[in-house]
């Protein structure tokens, strides 16, 4: 678990033995072997989780995150929970559901494949230049 630099790890209290808590975690490295991803649902984190085929449990905080969470849930690639009312049991149940139901992995794999077929940033840059040349010259 990555907590950033605003939280003192000692303030979290007793940390279970099966958890690693750090200020920074190399997210892309971790996602390559993760079975699920608990995230706030920012666009970068969501895209990275999907790119590596990892189902998402999203705890949206603000801005576009609730909309992103709705999109992930509507496509069957994750579960959205509300941080304000979240209990440990709800989170545990969501994790158990996600790990036991293959539908989440299947749904995220479908989206992952569409990401990989899209051409990546090279294709995006080409499309931007094509648009610029067509409409802005």
Q: Binning pLDDT at 50, 70 and 90, where does residue 18 land?
A: confident
Q: What is the mean pLDDT of residues 30-46?
A: 96
Going from the N-terminus, what domains does the chain have, and what CATH number goes with each? 34-135 (3.40.50.2000)
Give me the pLDDT at residue 116, please: 87
User: Do residues 37 and 56 lie in contact, with contact meaning Cβ atoms separated by under 8 Å?
Assistant: yes
What is the band of 137 on the pLDDT scale with cuts at 50, 70, 90?
Answer: low
Q: Which helix or strand (DSSP H or E) is residue 80 part of?
A: strand 78-80
Q: Is the pLDDT of residue 103 over 70?
A: yes
Q: What is the pLDDT of residue 114?
A: 93
State pTM to two decimals: 0.82
Distance CA 35, CA 84 (A): 25
How wide is the angle at C-alpha 55 spanned by C-alphas 1 and 8, nearest 5°? Answer: 15
Judged against a pLDDT cut of 90, whether residue 136 lies above it is answered with no
Q: Quick check: 52 and 112 in contact, CB under 8 A?
A: yes
Helix spans in the chain (H): 27-31, 43-51, 65-74, 88-100, 102-117, 120-135
């Amino acid at each position: 678990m990555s907590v950033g630099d605003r939280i003192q790890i000692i303030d979290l209290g007793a940390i279970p033995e099966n958890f690693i808590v750090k200020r920074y975690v190399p997210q892309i490295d971790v996602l390559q072997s993760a079975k699920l991803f608990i995230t706030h649902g920012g666009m970068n984190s969501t895209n990275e989780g999907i790119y590596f085929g990892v189902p998402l449990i999203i705890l949206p905080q603000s801005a576009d995150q609730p909309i992103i969470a709705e999109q992930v849930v509507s496509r069957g690639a994750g579960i959205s929970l509300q941080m304000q009312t979240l209990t440990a049991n709800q989170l545990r149940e969501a994790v158990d559901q996600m790990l036991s139901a293959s539908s989440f992995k299947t749904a995220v794999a479908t989206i992952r494949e569409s990401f990989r077929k899209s051409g990546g940033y090279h294709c995006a840059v080409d499309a931007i230049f094509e648009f610029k040349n067509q409409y802005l010259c």
